[in-house]
Structure 1
Amino acid sequence: MGTYNGDNNNNTLNGSTSADTINGNGGNDTINGNNGNDLIHGGTGNDVIDGGAGNDTIYGDADNDSILGGTGNDLIYGGDGNDTIEGGAGDDTIYAGAGNDVWLPGDTQSGSDAVYLEDGDDYATIGWFTSGTPDTIDGGAGNDTLSLSAPNSDTVNFGITLNDDGSATTISFGTVVKNFENVIGNSGANAITGNSAANLLDGGAGNDTLSGMAGNDTLIGGAGEDSIDGGTGDDSMTGDGGNDTMSGGDGNDTMRGGDGADSMSGGAGNDLMSGDAGNDTMSGGDGNDTLSGGTGADLISGDAGNDSLDGGADNDTLLGGTGDDTLHGGAGADVLSGDSGMDYADYSDSGAGVNVNLTTGTGQGGDAAGDQLSGIDGIYGSAYNDTLIGYDGSSSTPGDTYTNVFYGGAGNDYIDGAGGDDSLYGGTGNDTIYGGTGNDYIDGGDGNDVLYGGDGEDTIYGGAGNDYIVGGDGGDLYDGGTGSDTIAVDYGDTAIINGEEDADGTDQDTLILNGRARVIYDPNDPTGESGTIRWANGTTTTFSNIEHVQVVPCFTPGTMIETNEGPVAVEELTEGMRVLTRDNGYQTIRWIGRRDLGPVELLLRPQLQPVRIRRDALGPSMPEADMIVSPQHRMLLTGPRAELLFGEGEVLAAALHMVGMPGIERLEVEKVSYLHLLFDCHEIILANGAWTESFQPGDLSLGSMDAPQRDELFTLFPELRTQVETGDWAAARLSLKRHEVRVLMAA
């Protein structure tokens, strides 16, 4: 028997074969009690203590100690700090004390230990042994973890239920535990049930059954075919390998299937599911769920709520259920069924353009290839050139109301809303959009778009770019947006039209009137860009920020055009003759059009009355003789003042905008003939000694032509139809607005 005392250094203290008293005091000591019933104090420092044989009493005291009781019935106090304690053979009593402690049963445990882990987040390992009696383990306060993976127990099938009230529970082989929140399984088929705390239940390898019960639990199946039930609370579940079955229960749950063909059910709450690899079956249940199948041929059902479904790769089946759902099939030939609610098919991630027709319920191209669609109300297009076609009322698998909402995204898209009150968004790119029947909302977005409202009371917004807008029947609302837009309205349309004004004021918006009407400009608008269209049937259309109304750039008979054969009267010109141009020398006339207006038409459409420009009105010998032109025919104005005001030495001004200037006046005639000269591009030609413009289809003067003339022109120039719609027929010079003409000519 002896007493051994260390100092404040790191000591090594060995007891005798008798009952010793050993005090480590300060420092990180190594203490071996050897034989005998020893009393050991580690003191401060991170000590390593082995009681050896005998019934020892061991105090780890402060700091992080490693304690082995050895053989015998030991009494062990871990003290403060994060201690690792192993009782060894015998019936040991262990008080781990404060700190995050670890209790180990040892490789060949015998005896029945009473373990009290006390305060801290502690970790205890239990198992099945061939000798000894069951242990009693109390996790105490803190978030404690019980591991079932003791040596010799890796494949044992454990069953454990964590009680809610701190009372003890007996698990397999008689071990009694209480006050544990987390359980980690082994490779056996374990059955683990949590309590109302936020449990961590890890089944490990094997076919496990995990039940989280109440609380926000984390459940990990591990390898094997596991059954996982989250219970109430916001649970996190991972199946890992194997064909797992997972049920979220109540709460906002997160599930990850891992490898294998998993079956996942969200239950109530807003759940997040990922099937990962394998052919998974997923059901969102109630709530706004997000479900992703991953690879494999998945069956995904959103059920109730506003759900987001993503099939991932392979041929998936996506069922939206009730609510407003978004279905993203991904690659593969997918089945997308929206059911009730406002449901969308999402192709925004497609690597190529898609062609989706909701009337036929089929998809082609990109991620839409092979897709079958039903009950889909809206589409998100790709970043490429998409074709999106809505319901026309004849489909056998329509959406809820034939009302479509399409987002074209980037790319040059073709969108047809067909029947219903549709909302159609072109996004970026040069899009073509048809509203069809119904009261549609159309937004072209950025780019040079072609927008058709169709029947119904439509709202059309061109957005940025040079857009071409046609309304159709109904009381429509048009807004061209920024850029030089062309807006065509049908006879009697009670539309409200706004061309909008660009920040720099350089836009040139044009209004085309398809029918008999009278233009009344607002006398209070100094820009001359607003007014009222009074149709022959008495209905009216109002407009603002419109620089040009019904462009008809043409000459009247008697105007002398300079050719390579000298001046020739415009009515005597023939196609194929060569005319002098300011920019490109002598150019060939490609087409000549003529329109004769009589008393009745001029009475109904007084805005078509011509303008006379008298000799010398634009300068000496400009023109050399009086010339009569259509009101929107533009003349070339030159000089340093134009350069100063507009940054261009040469500009074009419509004859109508110059009326009231000396020598320029509006005529009232009973009849007039207008002739159009078309070249390969918009040209500046010499007429009566003054430079003026040729016919420019890019201004959509086609809207004022007779149908046979338009047909003839499109037959001669089939590419012209596309060029007209996209605004590709560039103007030869900058065209001034009414107020700009006034400023220029006021000098």
Structure 2
Amino acid sequence: MPTTYTDQFYTFDPANPPSGGTSVSFVSYNLTDQNDDGDVDAFDNDSVNGSDVSSSYPGDTVTINVPGTGNVTYTGTTFYLANGDRVFTPTDGQVLANGTFVSSTWVSGQGPLDVGDLGPPCFAAGTLIETERGMTPIQDIEVGDLVRTLDNGLQPVKWSGKRTVAALDKRAPIRFAKGAIGNTRELLVSPQHKILVSGWRAELFFGEDEVLVAATHLVNADTIHRAPRRHINYHHLMFDRHEILLAEGIPTESFYPGEYILQDSDLHDEVMDLFPEMIGQAGPDWETARTVLRSKEAQVLCGDNL
């Protein structure tokens, strides 16, 4: 059965880009995984924006000069479509922004886009979150409840969400065994959920005391691994800003709309009703609470310790 996702795209080919200084704006397109095998590629009639994928190139990069921010480099996948369009979508957890084109790089090898790279940051049902009234199952936390945050004390929940998703292969949740990273109980999170990691490696290699690392990049051969199942109930908590919460006793991120909000039209509409200031912009309040590491950076950080 087909599964459709929504994501951000630049509408040019990094291998044949516009001239430097050209204005660039992102758009939202649907991606359809026709046979629901967990990837989008040139096989099985997968499509983007209604047109079949002819080829796909993971690993291309696009650098954009974003007003007020400077140059931002995105890593992602470029799709060649049957209708002649060429489109690029990020797979590095960043949010595309409007700006002017600076440069690009491209790869020659084809490959699929793993839909796991489109995943939301969220907790599995049953996860205990530290709140004003103590450790509370996430499914029992409601809008207005006070949740303890690492940076800003008790903060009220502004929005909570729930969704049930297939949880096989690359979309399987990441299981942290009790004590794997100091957690008091087993912890299940989505693959792209960010965990706060600290230590000398963070300071040495990245100049930061603390950084955020996607759970999928922490998988090891022992205490942290994928835990596939047919379905899983995921819950989200959102605040006035990106926060660091305590889940099963360890610091981890709250819902960050910049990474996922464009992937679900119903979710987009609901969140925009509550946060109209987010329309058309990320804004300073939606910067991540800490620097987010990419896959190769996470490998440098973790070394053989996880």
The normalised TM-score by structure 1 is 0.30
Q: How far has the Cα of 1:704 moved from its partner?
A: 3.7
**Alignment partner, residue 565 of structure 1:** 133
- Which residue among 575, 588, 609 is the counterpart of 2:172? 609
**Alignment partner, residue 113 of structure 2:** 533
Distance 1:667 1:444, change over 3 A: farther
- Which residue among 223, 247, 272 is the counterpart of 1:687? 247
**Mapping for residues 91-170 of structure 1, pairs under 5 Å:** none
Equivalent pair of 1:553/1:676 in contact (CA under 8 Å): yes
**Alignment partner, residue 400 of structure 1:** none
Equivalent pair of 1:487/1:510 in contact (CA under 8 Å): no
Q: How far has the Cα of 1:730 moved from its partner?
A: 0.3
Structure number with higher relative contact order (C-alpha < 8 Å, ≥ 6 residues apart): 2
Bigger helix fraction = 2
Q: Which has the larger radius of gyration?
A: 1
Distance 1:562 1:627, change over 3 A: same
**Alignment partner, residue 57 of structure 1:** none
**Mapping for residues 555-704 of structure 1, pairs under 5 Å:** 555-597=123-165, 601-602=166-167, 606-618=169-181, 622-660=182-220, 662-699=222-259, 701-704=260-263
Aligned residues: 249
Counterpart CA distance in 1 for 2:238 and 2:197 is: 21
Counterpart CA distance in 2 for 1:485 and 1:728 is: 21
**Mapping for residues 704-719 of structure 1, pairs under 5 Å:** 704-705=263-264, 707-719=265-277
Counterpart CA distance in 2 for 1:557 and 1:486 is: 32
Counterpart CA distance in 1 for 2:156 and 2:77 is: 31
Q: How far has the Cα of 1:738 moved from its partner?
A: 1.3
Counterpart CA distance in 1 for 2:20 and 2:257 is: 22
**Alignment partner, residue 480 of structure 1:** 62
Counterpart CA distance in 2 for 1:434 and 1:644 is: 35
Counterpart CA distance in 1 for 2:284 and 2:244 is: 19
Counterpart CA distance in 1 for 2:136 and 2:297 is: 33
Counterpart CA distance in 2 for 1:454 and 1:495 is: 12
Distance 1:579 1:659, change over 3 A: same
Distance 1:488 1:596, change over 3 A: farther
Q: How far has the Cα of 1:454 moved from its partner?
A: 8.0
**Mapping for residues 110-509 of structure 1, pairs under 5 Å:** 445=21, 450-452=25-27, 472-474=49-51, 480-482=62-64, 483-485=72-74, 497=88, 509=94
Counterpart CA distance in 2 for 1:672 and 1:640 is: 35
2:145 partner letter: M
Counterpart CA distance in 1 for 2:149 and 2:256 is: 14
CA deviation map 1:560-600 (0-9, x unaligned): 11011111100000000111111111111100011112xxx
Counterpart CA distance in 2 for 1:683 and 1:649 is: 17
Distance 1:453 1:677, change over 3 A: closer
Bigger strand fraction = 2
Counterpart CA distance in 1 for 2:221 and 2:10 is: 44
For the aligned residue pairs, the C-alpha RMSD in angstroms reads 3.9
Q: How far has the Cα of 1:703 moved from its partner?
A: 3.5
Counterpart CA distance in 2 for 1:567 and 1:532 is: 41
1:554 partner letter: C
Counterpart CA distance in 1 for 2:210 and 2:134 is: 25
State, as a whole percentage, how many aligned pairs show the same letter: 34
SS of the equivalent of 1:670 reads: strand
Which segments of 5 or more consecutive residues in structure 1 lack a partner in the other structure? 1-432, 456-470, 501-506, 512-524, 536-547
Distance 1:472 1:745, change over 3 A: same
CA deviation map 1:54-106 (0-9, x unaligned): xxxxxxxxxxxxxxxxxxxxxxxxxxxxxxxxxxxxxxxxxxxxxxxxxxxxx
CA deviation map 1:20-43 (0-9, x unaligned): xxxxxxxxxxxxxxxxxxxxxxxx
CA deviation map 1:129-154 (0-9, x unaligned): xxxxxxxxxxxxxxxxxxxxxxxxxx
Which segments of 5 or more consecutive residues in structure 2 lack a partner in the other structure? 1-8, 31-47, 65-71, 97-108
2:301 partner letter: L
1:675 partner letter: H
Counterpart CA distance in 2 for 1:704 and 1:498 is: 12
Counterpart CA distance in 1 for 2:121 and 2:29 is: 28
Q: Which moved more, 1:687-696 or 1:735-744?
A: 735-744
CA deviation map 1:359-410 (0-9, x unaligned): xxxxxxxxxxxxxxxxxxxxxxxxxxxxxxxxxxxxxxxxxxxxxxxxxxxx
The normalised TM-score by structure 2 is 0.68
Counterpart CA distance in 1 for 2:294 and 2:94 is: 10
Q: How far has the Cα of 1:663 moved from its partner?
A: 0.8
Counterpart CA distance in 1 for 2:178 and 2:18 is: 49
CA deviation map 1:297-351 (0-9, x unaligned): xxxxxxxxxxxxxxxxxxxxxxxxxxxxxxxxxxxxxxxxxxxxxxxxxxxxxxx
SS of the equivalent of 2:184 reads: coil
**Alignment partner, residue 106 of structure 2:** none
Counterpart CA distance in 2 for 1:738 and 1:688 is: 24
